Amino acid sequence: MKRLLATALLLASLVAAPLPAQQSGRLVIEAGRIVTQAGPDIENGRIVIDGGRITAVGKAEEVEKPWDATVIGGKEFVAVPGFVEAHTSQGMDRANENIDVAPFLDIRDSIDPVAYFFEDCLRLGITTVNVQQGANCVVGGRGMVVRPVGMTVEEMAVRPLFGLKLSTRPKGGKSRATQMQALRFAFEDLKLYLEGLVEKERDDAGYAKREALFQGRDLEAEAAQGRAMSGNAWKVDGLELVPRGALDERYAPLLELLEGRYTAFVHCGDPLDVVHALEVVRAQGILARTVLVIESDCWKAADRIAEAGVPVILEGGLLDVQRDPITGEEVETFVPRVLQEKGIRFALSSEDPNTRAPAYQAALAVAYGMERTAALDAVTRVPAEILGLGDEVGSLERGKLGNVLLCSGDPLSVAGWVEHVVIEGRLVYERAKDVRNKHLLEGVQPLGTAPPTSAEAGEDPEHEHEKKADEDKGGSEKDAGDEQKEKEDGGR
Amino acid sequence: MLLLLAPLLVTPSPGDDDWTIQAATVHTVSGAPIENGFVRVQGGKIAAVGKGGGGATLECAAVTPGLIDLALGIDTGPLSVEQSSETAARLRASEGLDLFSYRWERALRSGITTALAQPADYDVIGGLGLVLKTGGAPTLAARLVKPEACLRGAFGAQPSNGNSIPRFQEPQSFYFRRPTTRMGVEWVFRKAFHDTLQGQGEDDPATAADHAVLRRVLAGELPLVVQAKATQDVRTAIYLKEEFGIPRMVLDHAIEAWREPELLKRSGVAVILPPFTADGRHADGFVNDSYFLPLDAARKLHEWGVPFALSAHEGAGAGARLADQAAAAQRGGLPLAAALEAVTLTPARLLGVEARVGSLEAGKDADLVLWNGPPLQPTSRIIGVLLQGRLVLDPRSK
Amino acid sequence: MSARLFGLALVAAPLGLFAPRAGDGPATPAGRGFVAVRAGTVHLVEEGRVLSGATVLVKDGKIQAVGSDVPLPPDALVVDYGPDAVIVPGLVAAYSAYALGFPSERTADPTLAALDAFDTYRVYGDALSGGVTSAYLTPADNRLIAGTGAVVKLAGQRDAARVLSAEAALHGAIDASARATPGYWDPPIPVMVDVELGYARPQLPRTTMGAIVALGELLDLAADPDDARLVSEYGPRTGPALARALAARVPLRLSASDAEEIRALLGFAAERRVPLVLDRAEGAGPVAAEIAAAGVPVVYRLPYSPNAPAVDRGKEEDARWPTLDVPAQLVKAGARVAITGSAPRDLLFAARLASRGGLEPAAALRAITLAPAEILGVAQRVGSLRAGKDADLCVLNGDPLAPGTSVLATWVDGEVAWTPAQHASKEDDGRASRATVIEVEELHVGDGEVLRPGQLLMQDGRIREVGARVSRPRGATVVRGKTCMPGMIDAFGHLGLEGSRKVPGTDFTLATILDPGDALDRRVARQGITTVVLTPRSASDSGAPVAAYKPAARELDHLMVADPAALRLRWDDPVRLRSGQNVRALLAKAQEYRQKWLEYEQAMAKWVPPAEPAAEPEKKEDEKAGEAKEGEKSEGEAKEEKKEESDKKEDKKDEKKDSKSKKKKGEPEELEPDPITGLWQADVALPEPAAPAKLKLRAKLAKAGESAAVEGNLRCDALSATLVEFEGWFDREARTLTLSGVGSRGWVELSGELKEGKLAIKARADGQEHEATLERTSKDYVVAGRSERGTEKSETPKEPKGKPREPKRDGKLEPLRRAMDGTAALVVEVERARDILECVAACNQAGIRPVLYGAREAHLVLDQIAGKVAGVLPSPTVVVAEAERGTDYRTPYAELQNAGIRVAFPSEAEEGAIDLPLRAAYAVANGMSPEGALRALTADAAAMLAIDGRVGRLAPGLDADVLLLDGPPLDPATSVLRAWVAGEEVEAH
């Protein structure tokens, strides 16, 4: 509790108290170099953001500066589009329900706006996050795309009710066969249920009409509006007779998935899961709106993925290490390169806290021989497109949202820190004011426990005592943090 | 698409062990980096290092000495621990070493060519560590660099953990006891050295053997490598160093050493840093506590002039490669040169094997690491490794 | 030649398939045009046809033509495996666990599809390495209907073409495994928005009849999927799914073990007219005819798993030990049979075993190719070589059913899917001496030497002569046969422990807990295991004793071969740094100890006895001499004779002492059985004409005043030809003993009465009465000349002055001392390579060549230990697959032997020892030389355990433990016809 409060205050210090300039909603960002991810980099350029959107990007001399705009940045900075986290199961109190099929769940009820995770997102330069339920399910709940700022879920929301989680990787306590069984049954059940409804509706059509009348609805119009079941794979005739209100909320989301309302994020633990995933989404006719969330091993199924033309989010490590069963040698495979060679659109999104920094992953990709731009695309453009935000975020172009990072030097280098984060024209993060970051970097002590001076360093038992006490406090506080992390990691 | 790694034991064909490596930058560590220089290797040793040069058999962006990890963690695990007494200075880690573990191969591939193997930290004084190569024929003889390189000790929670009854076995006797608190650990440590100085209980050959080792430590022949994670452990270690006048002490896994600048400077201990974590926390599995390691710890030590080495601890995991640690340290503000030294020459010095490894100088072992870009940067990786002149990771295989 | 080279090149290509790769199948030239695969022999299996020098012409993964004179297209690529190679159709495994997953909680769940768990990205190298190209996937086990099984190809492209049949069978069971169904269907807890509170329902089956009822109900449900009751019983989805499957004529494949279950199923299938396939069918023998009549095909699963530790099958007289003749019977009766092994890769071996049961080769081969293909309904694509079928070939280096034949290459869809990886007594006791001569075509001496023809003469329990022609004593029985070999040695077994898990001290005399030749022992011996190296199931830190004995010996005297035969120590210590410390310590002690003795002996040599010379010392001395000189028979015998005499003396002394002491201690003690073993054992002198007999009693200790239950046995030819096993009780009040047991000639009754420490015994058998008195004697047997321990003690007090004091005997160190003299073995449990090296070094340094037990990593240090160890007892796992080496299976037994290191087969079981020859055969099937395997079972085992002075070979002077076989040894098709132990034939009870 104490910690939460602390964080709340901390976060408040980051996002609250908007700069006066932001009333005018005009912000000018200047940088020695602008990495637009939409064409060549711009040496010492200028970005103008008005009303949250980019109105101009270009060389400083070409873009004129509105008189009333606030100016941030400077020659020493490199401007980069805000990174996009294409898929994560963090930032929730817990990642998984223990129900096999639970499309009726909604991430929004679970998102914790003050979770460290979102704070870290800013630190790492992630400005758009797609939060989805964990993979330990058969059919999971609906997720949402958020910006990592705001004290309430509403403030954070970018796309509420976005995407629905499926998993072909056997859930805990399930074998491959039983997982697939459950997945198929989920859709069969839906069909049976809908047919049942229509039956019932036909039996007392009159009642339905009266009901509709009473509700002031126009059934034909509804049907025309395509409210009826319009899945590509299979239909249920006469569903338009059923008022949507009558649909059991347990099934509604699944129906909407089939109707293409949601993107399906299908989690695949290994290549066979990929095959199964594609089989299922094809059978349900939602291939077009499918994204595979894959572990490293899945590169073996790259051909299938390429053939299906679905984009993937690489959640596992970028490097897949395994033994050749014949020679006994260890074989390292750099997964992004495989995906690239097969022409698969992929986004990077590590779940390992030590390697999840988008910049680090891009750097790793470069180390293994990928083009800089391509590497950065995998954490900006591509995830944006996957989330259907292609023309909103992911690059620095006129008309897109003003999500900009100002880095001290090349973001892929060890020296490159995210100094400022601008989200939709609002300066939401300044490293200079980031106490926790300072703590992480320099180990600033909790209040009242300054490092001992040479005088104190002696063997003064008195001092030893209070020192120890303080540290224990510090320790326990950190533990609270650990538990928090565990919660987030839980069951993923 | 996939790079097949050359098997570790390439059968040497004639000329197999003779190379001339041309690199945009040759980081000798001992001296200033040489722009487009070369390293010539003959018969497993470095024949020459210089500028220009021709007839290269291998080319790459940068060459550095083979990396050295003083906390590789490839030992026989907790089972390699003598349980019958908490001071077992006479024991040798070599006895329990598993040379057939695949993790040596991984370490080698991640650029680590020399490593320190020690007993795990369940005893206060755990035994003698040895320095050995991470590759070559799987025999001690073939890999050994220095048989008795250091004495291993440990402070804090680990050696005093779970001692209510001894691990892995029934208590031998009603009187079986081992320290169960930090104080107890300190007491055992102090007693060992005290008895050594007094020559007490040496009629028991085991004790005598222990004391013989401890004397070598006191004489400065052997460095004493002690695990000291938390601040209070760091202090305890340093106080004891000063109390008994232990000449060479290295604090291993010294997560919170950075909190004690004065003590470090005053006592002249060296430090081995554990890997950096995303949130700076290092949970201590043995007590419900976690210690904090800031990203700039290395920089601090560097500025204070405290000799330190970086380590990957359990470096087998892809996540915690030694090179990544060096990169992280730089992110914390450590200059490249210092980072490089902290994974090559410094560790070599700490264990007194700098005559053979740690830098690129004529006459030293030809342990080289070849990079596809500036070394120890996240945007570049290790593409080749030579171990004693033998190509164990081939930069040409793509 | 060039063609052959090309062939190899082609063979090399597909190995890429094993390396993980994004691309699908390998790119062999086969895809492009015609490929002609040649071999000396080609089994078409189609109506049993066999072609010699034939060609299989392949294009686009299909067989275009097969024949001796197939016209080759000009561009055809020829792969010639040479004249010795044999091509058979890719084998079809009718059982595999590749898709085995959790069963549903329902008793019947046809919607669980095995195909879902078929991982096309997995490399099925294990099966391919055994020539298996297609396999049936079992969805799950332990349910009445566990799910739907499928049939798939184990290599090839990763697409639908690999699925031969998506719904091959409704897989289930009615035997014991089905009864593993949870008794109640548990509604999901906790109850949630989407799960209403269900209530528990009982589920069938618990019995066979229950199973049949349930099956019936399921069919009803299929007929009427809306039957409310059944729906609630078996779940909403079961009915429709079943209906669909049955409509598609998908057979029910149900495993039934014994005849009753099979009958029940047959009846059911006939009544309900459902297609049925019998699975497992272990006990189908008796009902073969009915099965055939019903036209129900059988998937017979071999009840052995030779690659796992042996299984104890049950000790009761009527325990069903599995037999191998079931498939043969079924085929004879005219039923369709597919044979499967425990693992797909052992299919060929399974067929060989079946052929041992009498199945003729053609049928055996068919049972692992075409028959399963037909039964699984995929015969149109696989199972035989015929134009139009898939080009799945299994190329062998010899006859499919010959032992040791192995796979050269496995082809799937016209491409090479797998090739071998590129990578190693005592004297006559007065009974009428029986001489037996055995004449055979092949006499295997055991050490590799083979006499063709060979003859052997045994007499007085010993082998007298071996050669091409031996003398014929008058009245000698002559046995003619095909092959004979030495009795086999279970190099590390537990037979005789009778389940005991006790860990006795290393100085404990195992002999004292052993009974000679009871029914079980004989049963084992008749399967060929005549000597068992007995060791407790586990060892304490200080080790455990090891004794060698012959379970089936009729004579107490023949019973023990050596006790202790060896000392068993453990090198590995959970605390690695301490590994070997105890061994090192012990060795050090032992060396001191031995030193003491050597000094003592030298002293003795010098010492001149005073006036009345004691016979003892000299004996002791050249005894030692005898022991020191290893293996020299004459010496050994001399020694034993002398000892014998001494023993007799000792016994007398013993008795005297006893009777003396009797006076002091009150009577009751006298018949207190030995506190450790609870044993009486003694000579009973029965009056002529009866030959002397041996009575052995074991009493359960009981509080004074109660009657003690007594059991025991009597060996007395006058009363019974077989060992008489007694039961009875000892009344402490009346001090009388009453025993009775069945002998070969009916009841034998013993009644005894205790009078001043002597037990007067009356034996009544077939009318006659015999009387005898019994005195308690030392607990030590008077056998194998190992009674020193008892006697030495009794003797030490009355030593003349000046005689050097004999060092105290230390039962714990004695074995080690003997090991140093080379008259006993030291068995050390050690696993890791480093430890092995250190252990061997330590032992050698102490002058001992140890026997390594376990030695998991021995293969890493073969040449370092070669010549430094007496031998190795590898773990019972014959074939080891290592993660590092994937489908490259190692056979440690072979590796060690090739490195010149002796190996032997440990059973680590009791009567399970009978599986040893099977395991040896398995080792041969996996690369061990047959001759080597034979050695391992006989001569080598004996040599490494230092009992080669008694057993292990067919050589003059050794004990006459002889087996008569009906074929070459270790051929799975061979079985033991007759067995002799110490010259006595082992008869059934």
For A299, the closest chain C residue by CA position comes to C22
Residues of chain A in contact with residue B232, where contact means CB-CB under 8 angstroms, are 464, 468, 471
CA distance C116 to chain A (A): 5
For A339, the closest chain C residue by CA position comes to C22
Whole-angstrom distance, CA of residue C954 vs CA of residue C9? 48
State which H helix or E strand residue C769 sits in: strand C768-774
What would the mean pLDDT of A29-54 be, rounded to a whole number?
93
Mean pLDDT in consecutive groups of 10 residues from the start of chain C, 989 residues: 36 34 36 82 91 92 92 87 90 94 87 92 87 95 93 87 93 88 60 62 82 93 89 86 93 92 94 93 91 94 84 82 89 94 89 90 95 95 94 91 84 88 36 71 90 89 88 74 92 85 79 76 89 87 86 79 86 77 86 86 77 47 44 43 46 42 39 50 56 60 57 69 73 74 75 69 71 51 32 45 73 83 88 89 90 88 90 88 67 90 91 89 89 92 91 92 90 87 80
CA distance C294 to chain A (A): 34
Q: Is C129 on the interface with A (CB under 8 A)?
A: no
Comparing A466 with C233, the larger pLDDT belongs to C233
From the candidates B5, B74, B80, which should be mutated to test the interface with C, based on the most C CB atoms within 10 A? B80
Counting residues of chain A whose pLDDT is more than 70, the rounded percentage is 79
Residues of chain B in contact with residue C588, where contact means CB-CB under 8 angstroms, are none
Class of domain B67-357: alpha beta
pLDDT band of A448, cuts 50, 70, 90:
low
Determine whether the interchain pair C22/B4 forms a contact, defined as Cβ–Cβ distance below 8 Å: no
Q: Is C742 on the interface with B (CB under 8 A)?
A: no
CA distance C937 to chain A (A): 32
| Cross-strand pairs, A54 | A49
Cα end-to-end span (Å), chain B: 7
pLDDT band of A223, cuts 50, 70, 90:
low
Q: Which of residues 109-168 of B touch A (CB under 8 A)?
A: 109
Comparing B358 with C693, the larger pLDDT belongs to B358
Q: Please give the domain boundaries of chain A with CATH numbers for all domains.
A: 14-82+394-451 (2.30.40.10), 84-375 (3.20.20.140), 461-487 (no CATH)
- Phi-psi bin for A112: left (phi > 0), alpha (psi -120 to 50), beta? beta
**pLDDT recorded at residue B219:** 92
pLDDT band of A486, cuts 50, 70, 90:
very low
Is it the case that residue B382 has pLDDT exceeding 80?
A: yes
**pLDDT recorded at residue C808:** 78
From the candidates A181, A185, A331, which should be mutated to test the interface with C, based on the most C CB atoms within 10 A? A181
Determine whether the interchain pair B91/C857 forms a contact, defined as Cβ–Cβ distance below 8 Å: no
Residues of chain A in contact with residue B5, where contact means CB-CB under 8 angstroms, are 329-332
**pLDDT recorded at residue C28:** 41
C20, C99, C111 ranked by CB distance to A333: nearest: C20
Comparing C18 with A418, the larger pLDDT belongs to A418
Is it the case that residue A434 has pLDDT exceeding 60?
A: yes
Q: Is A306 on the interface with C (CB under 8 A)?
A: no
Q: Is A463 on the interface with B (CB under 8 A)?
A: no
Q: Is B282 on the interface with A (CB under 8 A)?
A: no
For B76, the closest chain C residue by CA position comes to C576
Q: Which alpha helices (H) appear in C427-580, and where do they start and end?
A: 519-525, 556-559
C872-898 b/e (C-beta count within 10 Å ≥ 16 → b): bbbebebbbbeeebbbbbbbbbbbbbe
Q: CA-CA distances (angstroms) from residue B42 to A371, A440, B295, B344, C606?
A: 37, 46, 40, 21, 67
For A168, the closest chain C residue by CA position comes to C116
Among candidates B141, B139, B136, B143, which has minimal Cα distance to B386? B136
Q: Is C150 on the interface with A (CB under 8 A)?
A: no
Residues of chain B in contact with residue A296, where contact means CB-CB under 8 angstroms, are none
CA distance B354 to chain A (A): 29
CA distance A473 to chain B (A): 10
State which H helix or E strand residue B127 sits in: strand B125-133
Report whether CATH 3.30.505.10 matches the domain B1-66+359-398: no
**pLDDT recorded at residue C192:** 62
For C114, the closest chain A residue by CA position comes to A177
Size of interface A-C (CB pairs under 8 A): 101
For A412, the closest chain B residue by CA position comes to B379
**pLDDT recorded at residue C11:** 35
For residue C430 the two structure tokens come to 């007065």
Counting as contact any 3 or more CB pairs under 8 A, the partners of A are: B, C
**pLDDT recorded at residue C692:** 58
Q: Is A325 on the interface with C (CB under 8 A)?
A: yes
State which H helix or E strand residue A366 sits in: helix A358-367
Residues of chain A in contact with residue C104, where contact means CB-CB under 8 angstroms, are 178
**pLDDT recorded at residue C411:** 94
For residue C816 the two structure tokens come to 């080690």
Among candidates C591, C649, C612, C651, which has minimal Cα distance to C816? C591
pLDDT tens figures, A308-321: 999 999 998 888 88
Q: Which of residues 823-882 of C touch B (CB under 8 A)?
A: 832-834, 857, 860
Is it the case that residue A64 has pLDDT exceeding 70?
A: yes
Q: Is A333 on the interface with C (CB under 8 A)?
A: yes
Residues of chain A in contact with residue C111, where contact means CB-CB under 8 angstroms, are 181, 185
CA distance A366 to chain B (A): 5
Tokens 């059978």 found at: A283
pLDDT tens figures, B318-334: 445 888 899 999 999 99
ipTM: 0.73
Whole-angstrom distance, CA of residue C794 vs CA of residue C775? 17
Determine whether the interchain pair C577/B91 forms a contact, defined as Cβ–Cβ distance below 8 Å: yes
For C129, the closest chain A residue by CA position comes to A326
Size of interface B-C (CB pairs under 8 A): 44
Q: What is the SS3 assignment for C919? A: helix
Whole-angstrom distance, CA of residue C218 vs CA of residue C224? 10
Per-domain boundaries in chain B = 1-66+359-398, 67-357
**pLDDT recorded at residue C707:** 61
**pLDDT recorded at residue A267:** 96
State which H helix or E strand residue C242 sits in: helix C238-247
Query: Average pLDDT of chain B?
Result: 84
Determine whether the interchain pair C121/A301 forms a contact, defined as Cβ–Cβ distance below 8 Å: yes
State the amino acid at position B173 in one-letter form.
S
A415, B379 contact by CB (below 8 A): no
For B318, the closest chain A residue by CA position comes to A319
Q: How many CB atoms lie within 10 A of CB C207?
A: 12
pLDDT band of A260, cuts 50, 70, 90:
confident
For B79, the closest chain C residue by CA position comes to C575
**pLDDT recorded at residue C802:** 67
For B8, the closest chain A residue by CA position comes to A329
Interface of B with C (CB under 8 A): 1-2, 4, 76, 79-84, 88, 91, 95-100, 102, 119, 127, 138, 168-169
B185, B153 contact by CB (below 8 A): no
Determine whether the interchain pair C577/B95 forms a contact, defined as Cβ–Cβ distance below 8 Å: yes
CA distance A413 to chain B (A): 7
Among candidates C884, C973, C987, which has minimal Cα distance to C404? C973
Q: Is C3 on the interface with A (CB under 8 A)?
A: no
CA distance C906 to chain B (A): 27
**pLDDT recorded at residue C428:** 35
- The arrangement of strands across the sheet holding C825-830 comes to C488-493, C529-534, C544-549, C560-570, C825-830, C851-854, C871-874
Q: What is the SS3 assignment for A463? A: helix
